[in-house]
Chains A and B, each alone.
Chain A
Amino acid sequence: MPTVALTVNGRKESVEVEPHTLLVQLLRSKLRLTGTHVGCDTSQCGACVVHVNGRAVKSCTLLALQVDGAEVTTIEGLAANGQLHPMQEAFRDNHGLQCGFCTPGMIMSAIDIVNRKGNDLNEHTIRDELEGNLCRCTGYHNIVKAIAAGAKAMKSVARAA
């Protein structure tokens, strides 16, 4: 079996995979990072979104072999030194989650939206940018609020840093 060498949440990993193993399978089954979820089989739901080299990707849509040498961040790797990422905090503050299943993908997508679109996001932009993530619980209302608040909080954190 081929081996993939990659960095996941800052840790170097070397994992034997099948040629057809998906990144999400590598994360969930081989590394037991079960925060990244699988909600569909057609790359529609976004529950599996992680960051690969700083960009949001659906980890069900990449082969593990494609991420050889990459830096991968999952939901488990967002909090640093016991401090939640501002977007995680914003989802809690704004009740942006209910069952929690879509939440990791939502948070990873939300951070990517801020990285691409900046810290002052209006409702229209957020709703438009969330087209790759499905939530069945919240009606998106509080997710939209959470992302707007998280985006602002990311700015203040960046300024403080």
Chain B
Amino acid sequence: MSATGIGARVRRVEDQRFITGRGQYTDDIHRPYETYAYFVRSPHAHATIRGIDKKKAEKMPGVLAILTGDDVAKDKLGDLFCGWMVLSKDGSQMKAGSHPALAKGKVRYVGDHVAVVIAESLDQAKNAAAELKVDYGVLPAVADLNKARDPKSPQLHDNAPKNTVYEWVLGDAAAVDAAFKQAKHVTKIDIVNNRLIPNAIEPRAAIGEYEPGTDTYTLWSTSQNPHVLRLGLSAFIGLCPEHKFRVISPDVGGGFGSKIFIYPEETVCIWASKKVGRPVRWTAERSESFQADAHGRDHVTTAELALDGGGKMLALRVKTLANLGAYLSTFSSAVPTFLYAPLLSGQYVIPAIYCEVDGVYTNTAPVDAYRGAGRPEACYVIERIVEVAARELNMDPAELRRRNFVKSFPYQTPVASLYDAGDYKASLDKAIQLADYKNFGRRRQESERRGKRRGVGFASYIEACGVAPSNLAGALGCGVGLWESADIAVTPTGMVEVLTGSHSHGQGHETTFAQLVSDKLGIPMSHVSVIHGDTDKVQFGMGTYGSRSGPVGMSAIAVALDKVIAKGKQIAAHVLEAAEADIEFKDGKYKVAGTDKSAAFGEIALAAYVAHKFPTAHIEPGLKEHAFYDPTNFTFPAGTHICEVEIDPDTGATQVVNWVAVDDFGTVINPMIVEGQVHGGIAQGVGQALLEGCVYDSDGQLVTGSYMDYTMPRADNLPSFKVDYTVTKCPSNPLGMKGCGEAGAIAAPAALMNAITNAVGHEDVPMPATSRAVWHALQKSQRRKAAE
């Protein structure tokens, strides 16, 4: 391993600008003659818009335009759309409700977009917005997932009776029923996967600019996938032809899924820039992020696991109700279906699985992918039920897992996933050793001596990332292919520009991608630059989400690099006056095998551009190659997290005192960066399990609408983490990589809730397990003991 190659802990290239305050985030960019947009949002969860009186507002100082849903309709802007078709069990299509960029006739959640005021300054826009008179006819609202399909609840969209988006199923119901009849033991759990608000620390932002001289548009946006944003705004919303439209995602301050989607605000900024003839900028205030960023999770699930007398799993039956909010966001339909149920087999051989998912509308913000997207929900189901089953059977939870692990690969689950490689026992055993599990009893006694309760919990998670191949994604209903692109452009001086369709919003691509190039071409990392996030520079790409930049994005780079090396061989053969078959490329040099004749990569790059030494009729001048790479399968990262908690029974306060993560990510390019991804993922999972919970009241008012009300994990809520690896290479991509971005968020809630319920002594503890919730759970334990 070289100092900067694959596997090296290289400090990040991008850090220089971030630690000196020279990052360029969307809100840091200013355009000449720019104007400010301020959105007027619905204060009601459900209401008709009987009229909007602009007269007074339009006369306010600095106002340039006030636009409403009528203007959107007049300009025939298409609806915001959901790009993943999900079919109900009766074969009918999901019921997508109309979603204009500015509401037309009706608002459906608090924060819904009613109008935009564009003015010379933000203050002026806000002042004018205060004078806009919107006449609402307030309707009854339904925010509670469990009440969405109640016949007495109001219906949000005319085409969705009982607010039902779809009734989707996966698996073999008859096989599951038959297996349950054979079962010696059945474990049943009822769980709620709490609703979360993503909260990237950089709020969403957009600047739209129309250039009349060339009839072109430029949008600066906090998007995780600028090309998909351009495609959506062009092809579906109909803003302008794709080739007349440039989208730039500069430095982006975290995404976690919430910046994948096509939102009303950026649509309005770019559309309005032509109407006012000047750039239009908008940056969300945090309260707007709380109201109108796509939220995550929000499932209610009943699950049953059938086991035989020896603790072998026979079948799993799962019924989930998923809240999709007031409108279908860009990929929302796929999250509780295709990104959820195919992972319900966990790391286990379960011969029969059947899952029903009903997706429903409520008067709440749209719900879409948030770090893990469906897979944390699946992990929470399977890893909670396995732990509960072990407790009911008086078995060590590790032993029950071991007894049921998938051990030979490839393994076809009954829920579509084809696991390609793994060694689940290896990661479990390593985690047990690192967590000093065998001495847990001693630590528990020690805690009890101090009047504390101690618990330990496992999560042996599996996830699927890098949804692939594209024809499979299409067969599952996805509206796009999920390949990735890469260009490797070598300059005459041997410097390398990597143009990638992946987008970094914290993942460190400028470093890891350069490491890959350095490793393959044998050149210093300082000779490599990584360019991303600009549709005028990178021709097309699918962006970054679902832990795909490593397995898919870097694979595309690897394939393009192979092409560069191959073309270099052709040129080197002429330069070194040898047969092409005799040319080897190693350590940054083209060599003639068996001789001391060689030319450095940079020399061949120069020769490629000078083009004097080879026949250009057969070999084109220049050195630039491209790859569109489509993997042959998903990748399946997996591992075991073990967590220990200590609870103060007087207050219910839970301290996470130990956390071990052993993950199998296949090939790791930069362990420092990968560990950082694991840390961050665990923190978000701990946040979900311990602190975070989005609350709407019965009228659909958002109760947790600021950092005063929504508890984000802070440094003192978390321990330091012990992170280690086991390695099985992924056979579905050339680098053997699996994704690492979501693993922590997938494993953590189950591990932590298993530990808390272990300490409390029963399973009835909801997420988030706040001090209050844990205290009440402990009182329940006391009452049970007293009753016994």
Contacts and interface: CB of A to CB of B under 8 A. Distances in A.
Interface of A: 18, 28, 32-42, 44-45, 47, 74-76, 78-79, 84, 88, 91-93, 95, 97-104, 107, 123, 126-128, 130-131, 133-144
A45 B713 CA distance: 11
B67 interface: no
A92 B708 CA distance: 31
B721 A139 contact: yes
B21 A134 contact: no
B634 to A, nearest CB: 25
Interface string B649-677: 00000000000000000000000110110
A100 B714 contact: no
Contacts of A141: 676, 679, 718, 720-721
A46 B88 CA distance: 46
Nearest to B289: A40
Contact of B680 (A39, A134, A136): A136
B15 interface: yes
Nearest to A39: B201
Contacts of A138: 676, 679-680, 683
Contacts of B201: 37, 39, 45, 47, 99, 101-102, 134-137
Nearest to A46: B201
B133 interface: no
B203 interface: yes
A98 B21 contact: no
Contacts of A38: 27, 203, 283
Nearest to B723: A141
B525 to A, nearest CB: 15
B11 A91 contact: no
Contacts of A143: 715
Interface stretch (B38-46, B501-509, B554-562, B614-622): B501-509
B202 A39 contact: yes
A45 B714 CA distance: 10
A40 B707 contact: yes
B214 interface: no
B200 interface: yes
Nearest to B720: A141
Contact of A36 (B15, B21, B672, B675): B21
B15 A91 contact: yes
A32 B713 CA distance: 31
Interface of A is mostly: loop
Contacts of B744: 139
Contacts of A44: 706-708, 712
B277 interface: no
A157 B681 CA distance: 35
A103 to B, nearest CB: 5
Contact of A130 (B507, B712, B716): B716
Contacts of B11: 92-93, 95
A93 B251 CA distance: 21
A128 B714 CA distance: 9
B253 interface: yes
Given A42-B707, A75-B21, A139-B679, A37 B202 contact: yes
A128 B718 contact: no
Contact of B505 (A99, A130, A139): A99
Output the residue of B17, B23, B718, B721 with the most chain A CB within 10 A. Answer: B23
B661 to A, nearest CB: 11
Output the residue of A34, A79, A99, A140 with the most chain B CB within 10 A. Answer: A99
B20 A140 contact: no
Contact of A144 (B15, B287, B684, B720): B720
A92 B707 contact: no
A45 B676 contact: no
Nearest to B255: A99
A93 B16 CA distance: 11
Given A84-B20, A92-B12, A100-B23, A131 B716 contact: yes
A37 B720 contact: no
Contacts of B286: 39-42, 45
Given A38-B283, A99-B253, 16 more contacts: A34-B24, A35-B23, A39-B201, A39-B286, A41-B286, A44-B712, A79-B20, A84-B20, A92-B11, A99-B505, A101-B201, A134-B712, A138-B680, A139-B683, A140-B683, A144-B715
Output the residue of A84, A98, A139 with the most chain B CB within 10 A. Answer: A139
Contacts of B254: 98-99, 101, 136-137
Contacts of A41: 285-287, 706
Interface string B703-727: 0001110001111101011000000
B712 A136 contact: yes
B18 interface: yes
B682 interface: yes
Contacts of A37: 25, 201-202, 253
A8 to B, nearest CB: 12
A88 B17 CA distance: 11
A78 B283 CA distance: 27
B15 A97 contact: yes
B707 A99 contact: no
Contacts of A76: 20-22
Nearest to A76: B21
9 contacts: A34-B28, A37-B201, A91-B19, A98-B254, A99-B505, A123-B720, A134-B712, A140-B679, A140-B714
A112 B287 CA distance: 29
B199 interface: yes
B252 interface: yes
Nearest to A141: B679
Contact of A40 (B507, B683, B706): B706
B256 interface: yes
Nearest to B507: A98
Nearest to B17: A100
A74 B19 CA distance: 11
A126 B718 CA distance: 12
B14 interface: yes
A99 B200 contact: yes
B429 to A, nearest CB: 24
A6 B297 CA distance: 48
B716 A101 contact: no
A131 B27 CA distance: 26
A130 B715 contact: yes
Contact of B21 (A35, A91, A131): A35
A98 B287 CA distance: 24
Given A92-B11, A127-B716, A130-B716, A97 B708 contact: no
Contact of A84 (B17, B19, B680, B715): B19
Nearest to A132: B714
B716 A128 contact: yes
A144 B505 CA distance: 21
A91 B672 CA distance: 13
A72 to B, nearest CB: 13
A139 B718 CA distance: 8
Interface string B329-344: 0000000000000000
Output the residue of A33, A38, A128, A133 with the most chain B CB within 10 A. Answer: A38
Contacts of A126: 715
A137 B680 contact: yes
Nearest to B288: A41
A113 to B, nearest CB: 11
B715 A101 contact: no
A54 B713 CA distance: 28
